[in-house]
Amino acid sequence: MRFLIRLQNIDRRILYVLVAIVLSVPLIIRPAKHPETVFPEVRKTYDTIDAVKPDNIVLLSVSWGAGTQAENDPQMQALMRHMFANNTKFVVMSWSLVGSELSYQSGMHVQADVNKQRSREGKPLLEYGKDWAHVGYKTGSISAIVSGLGENFQQVMKQDRNGTPLTELAATRNIKNYRDIGAVVDLTSVGLMGYWIAYLTTPKHIPLIYCPTAVMSATAYPYLDSGQLSGMLNGVMGAVQYETLVGQADVATDASASSWALSAAHIYIILLIVLGNLGYLVARKTGDRSGGSKLG
Amino acid sequence: MVNWLAANYGSIAIWAGALCTFGIYTILYKENKFYRFFEHIFIGVYGGYGVYITWHNIILPKWWRPMTSEGLWWWIFAAVLGSMFYFMYSKKHAWISRVIFGLFMGFAAGGIFREFYEGYFPQIGSSMKPFSGSYSNILSVAVFYVVLLAAMSYFFFSFEHKHPAVKNTAAAGRWFLMIGFGAMFGATVMGRMTLFIGRLNFLINRWIPEVRAEAQSSLFWIIMPAVVLIVSTIGYFVFRKSQKLEA
3-state helix, strand, coil in chain A (%, to 5): 60, 10, 30
Judge if B48 and B31 occupy the same domain.
yes
d(CA B178, CA A295): 26
List the A231-232 sheet strands across, edge first.
A132-137, A89-94, A57-63, A181-188, A208-212, A231-232
ipTM of the complex: 0.83
pLDDT value at residue A232: 97
Judge if B145 and B181 occupy the same domain.
yes
Provide the 10 A C-beta neighbour count for residue B37: 16
* Closest by Cα among A205, A197, A219, A206 to B114: A197
* Closest by Cα among A194, A187, A195 to A238: A187
**Cross-chain Cβ contact A198/B195 below 8 Å:** no
Q: What is the mean pLDDT of residues B192-201?
A: 90
**CB-hemisphere CA count at 13 Å for A215?**
14
Q: Is residue B101 part of a domain?
A: yes
**Cross-chain Cβ contact B198/A69 below 8 Å:** yes
The CA radius of gyration of chain B, in Å to the nearest whole number, is 30
| Facing residue for A227 by CB, picked from B54, B57, B126 | B126
**pLDDT tens digits, residue range B182-194?**
988 888 888 888 8
d(CA A285, CA A58): 61
B200 touches chain A (CB under 8 A): yes
| Facing residue for B194 by CB, picked from A139, A194, A235 | A235
d(CA A227, CA A211): 15
Domain boundaries, position B58: 1-71
Q: What is the mean pLDDT of residues B209-232?
A: 80
A222 CA to centre of own chain: 19
To the nearest whole Å, the CA of B191 is away from the closest chain A CA by 5
Interface probe for A, chosen from B20, B21, B179, B190 (most Cβ of A below 10 Å), is: B190
Higher pLDDT, B226 or A149: A149
Across A62-71, B50-59, B231-240, least confident range: B231-240
Q: Is residue B224 part of a domain?
A: no
**Cross-chain Cβ contact B191/A228 below 8 Å:** no
Interface probe for B, chosen from A138, A229, A258 (most Cβ of B below 10 Å), is: A258
Name residues of chain A where pLDDT drops below 50.
295-296
B213 CA to centre of own chain: 34
A254, A243 in Cβ contact below 8 A?
A: no
Judge if B114 and B155 occupy the same domain.
no
A174, A180 in Cβ contact below 8 A?
A: yes
In SS3 terms, A216-255 reads as HHHHHHHHHHHCCCCEECCHHHHHHHHHHHCCCCCCCCHH
The terminus-to-terminus CA distance of chain B in angstroms comes to 46
pLDDT value at residue B36: 93
B194 touches chain A (CB under 8 A): yes
Higher pLDDT, B237 or A62: A62
Number of domains in chain B: 3
Q: Which domains does chain A have, with CATH numbers?
A: 1-33+253-296 (no CATH), 36-249 (3.40.50)
User: Which residues 65-94 in chain A show a CB within 8 A of chain B?
Assistant: 67-71
* Closest by Cα among B147, B143, B122 to B131: B143
Q: Is residue B212 part of a domain?
A: no
Judge if B12 and B60 occupy the same domain.
yes
Judge if B39 and B24 occupy the same domain.
yes
pLDDT value at residue B136: 92
Which chain B residues contact residue A197 at CB under 8 A? Answer: 115, 118-119
B133 touches chain A (CB under 8 A): no
Provide the 10 A C-beta neighbour count for residue A271: 11
**Cross-chain Cβ contact A225/B123 below 8 Å:** yes
**Cross-chain Cβ contact B49/A97 below 8 Å:** yes
Q: Is residue B225 part of a domain?
A: no
Q: Is residue B183 part of a domain?
A: yes
Judge if B3 and B25 occupy the same domain.
yes
Judge if B177 and B138 occupy the same domain.
yes
Instruction: Give the chain A residue nearest B25 (alpha carbons).
Output: A16
Instruction: Give the chain A residue nearest B118 (alpha carbons).
Output: A198
**pLDDT tens digits, residue range A211-256?**
999 888 888 999 999 999 999 999 999 999 999 999 898 899 989 9
Judge if B30 and B49 occupy the same domain.
yes
Q: How confident is the model at residue B7 (pLDDT cuts 50, 70, 90)?
A: confident
Q: Is residue B205 part of a domain?
A: no
Which chain A residues contact residue B177 at CB under 8 A? Answer: none
pLDDT value at residue B62: 86
Judge if B56 and B6 occupy the same domain.
yes
Alpha-carbon separation of residue A29 from A12, A23, A36, A259, B205 (angstroms): 27, 11, 20, 13, 10
d(CA A202, CA A4): 55
Judge if B60 and B89 occupy the same domain.
no
Judge if B174 and B138 occupy the same domain.
yes
In SS3 terms, chain B reads as CHHHHHHCHHHHHHHHHHHHHHHHHHHHCCCCHHHHHHHHHHHHHHHHHHHHHHHHHHHHHHHHHHHHCCCCHHHHHHHHHHHHHHHHHCCCCHHHHHHHHHHHHHHHHHHHHHHHHHHHHHHHHHCCCCCCCCHHHHHHHHHHHHHHHHHHHHCCCCCCCCCHHHHHHHHHHHHHHHHHHHHHHHHHHHHHHHHHHHHHHHHHHHHHHHHHHHCCCHHHHHHHHHHHHHHHHHHHHHHHHHHHHHC
pLDDT value at residue A291: 55
Please tell me what DSSP assigns to residue A124.
P
Judge if B60 and B87 occupy the same domain.
no
pLDDT value at residue B1: 76
User: Which residues 64-103 in chain B show a CB within 8 A of chain A?
Assistant: none
Provide the 10 A C-beta neighbour count for residue A178: 20
A64, A96 in Cβ contact below 8 A?
A: yes
**Cross-chain Cβ contact A215/B205 below 8 Å:** no
**Dihedral pair phi/psi, residue A60, rounded to 5°:** -100, 115
The CA radius of gyration of chain A, in Å to the nearest whole number, is 23
Provide the 10 A C-beta neighbour count for residue A107: 23
- The three-state secondary structure class of A200 is helix
pLDDT value at residue B192: 86
Instruction: Give the chain A residue nearest B199 (alpha carbons).
Output: A70
A158 touches chain B (CB under 8 A): yes
Written as one letter, the residue type at A205 is: H
Share of chain A above pLDDT 70, in %: 97
A295 touches chain B (CB under 8 A): no
**pLDDT tens digits, residue range A280-295?**
888 888 876 655 555 4
Instruction: Give the chain A residue nearest B190 (alpha carbons).
Output: A214
Which chain B residues contact residue A227 at CB under 8 A? Answer: 122, 126
Q: Is residue B82 part of a domain?
A: yes
pLDDT value at residue B174: 94
Q: Is residue B211 part of a domain?
A: no
Average pLDDT, chain A: 91
Alpha-carbon separation of residue A61 from A15, A91, A195 (angstroms): 37, 9, 11
Which chain A residues contact residue B50 at CB under 8 A? Answer: 97
